[in-house]
Each structure stands twice: as C-alpha cells, then as structure tokens.
A = this chain, B = another copy of it.
C-alpha cells in the first residue's frame, strides 16, 4: 500500500521522537516563531506521544480543551455535529498545520478531530504555551497569527459556500491541497486525496453524488486526471480559472 507511493513520502518523519530541531516541518510549523534557544523551551513542552490509527479520534467535541496539536504526518479532519445530529466537516489538516484552537473560548472543544489515515501529531499543552507566549513576543504573535489564519480560512470557506458553484468548490479544494503540498516541498500537480468523497462533499456543502460527477466532468474536460483518491492536475491554469468563477464553462479566453 505504501510502496507504490514512494514519491509522496519524501518527508523523513520516521522517528516518532524527533525534536522540532530535526523535524522537516519546522519551517512551516510553530518553530518559525522562535530562535534556537527558545526552540528548546518550546520543544520541552511538546508531547509527541500520540500516533493515531485511521479512524481514531484526537479529541472529541465537548472534551475539555487542554492542548493544541500540530500534525506531523497523515491527515486529520475536524468536524462538528449539528443539533439534529448531522456531521459538518470543518477542516482538513495536513502535516505542519495546527488544529484544536477551537475551544479556547469555552475551554471545551467545539469540534471533534479524527485521523483520516495513520497520523502523528505533536501535542502542545495550551497553558504552558500561554506562559511561554507571554515570555516570547514572537511566539505570542505567531499564535495570534495562527488563529487569525484559521479565521481567514473559515472566511474563505464561507465565501466558497455562499458564492461558488459545485465545480468552483471542487476546483478550490484541489488548489488548496495542491498549494499546501507545495509548502512542504511536494508536487503541486500530483497528490493523493486523503479524504473520502463523502468528506469532501460534506466539507464543501455538496452531495456525494455531485462531488463524484464534478470529478468526472473535470476529467472529461482534461483539467485533471482522477484515479480513486489519486489526483493529477493536468491544467493548473484551467483549474485556477475554474476555481474563481470563470464565467460559464472553461472558456480559455
């Protein structure tokens, strides 16, 4: 299963207990906010205990909030459950991304977080981080930034949900994933979707069937090639066009 995706697993995260110093994700993760001495302090408060198996929860909505988490490998989805019991996927978190910031206000998580595949995370106890933040201005600021970025991501999603068509939504998601891959030094054009069609649909506010149909449509238009979860972007520009409402359909003006 993993042998045929060698090209994707370039990131050397074999060792569970690597310190931030040695972690290949440090240029995009919390460490960017601190200098070498401070990194050690940060390192000291981080717990690296939790490798999750597919389907396991990192935390659940209504759990007390104690830590935030940085994804080291794998993918985590967050979701909440509506009053009437429906699930709403609120985000997908890839390596280097931080989740769990929800719940700071209430001290209780408002989302659940579940591993979509085997995943390793770094746990950062929030109280300790708060103390450290007060001491390290750059860290405080970085933390503010993290939250602010979360807000911006949410607002982009809001825009997407309220203004974009099914095609535009899917295109946007693909681009988002592509971009985030690039940040880790991975291919922008070829990647594996870690989530199911169902999760995609749920996240984007579309029925599963619609997701499926859009994928086939995009493929017929020669913009992407899909094989199950494996995606190859053939026409990046076309995809960009499509993602921000390029009139009706693929007029390469």
Chain A interface residues toward B at CB < 8 A: 80, 82-84, 86, 88, 90, 101-106, 110-111, 130, 133-134, 137, 140-141, 144-152, 154-155, 157-159, 161-163, 202-205, 244-245
Contacts and interface: CB of A to CB of B under 8 A. Distances in A.
Contacts of A163: 82, 86, 88, 205
Residue of A133, A144, A145, A203 with highest tally of chain B CB at under 10 A: A144
Contacts of A205: 161-163
A141 B148 contact: no
A115 to B, nearest CB: 20
A204 B162 contact: yes
Report the copy number of this chain in the oligomer: 2
Contacts of A203: 162
B105 A152 contact: yes
B88 A151 contact: no
B244 A84 contact: yes
Contacts of A88: 158-159, 162-163
Contacts of A140: 130, 133-134, 140
B158 A102 contact: no
A244 B103 contact: no
User: Which applies to chain A's interface (DSSP): helix, strand, loop or mixed?
Assistant: helix
A202 B111 CA distance: 26
B151 A102 contact: yes
Nearest to A154: B154
The 6 closest A-B pairs by CB, nearest first: A162-B205, A154-B154, A161-B161, A105-B148, A104-B148, A105-B145
A152 B111 CA distance: 10
A25 to B, nearest CB: 19
Contact of A110 (B82, B102, B155): B155
A250 to B, nearest CB: 15
A149 B90 contact: no
B204 A144 contact: no
A103 B147 contact: no
A203 B161 CA distance: 11
A137 B140 CA distance: 12
24 contacts: A80-B155, A82-B159, A82-B244, A83-B244, A83-B245, A84-B245, A90-B155, A104-B144, A104-B148, A105-B144, A105-B145, A105-B149, A106-B148, A111-B155, A130-B140, A130-B144, A147-B147, A147-B148, A147-B151, A154-B155, A158-B158, A161-B161, A162-B202, A163-B205
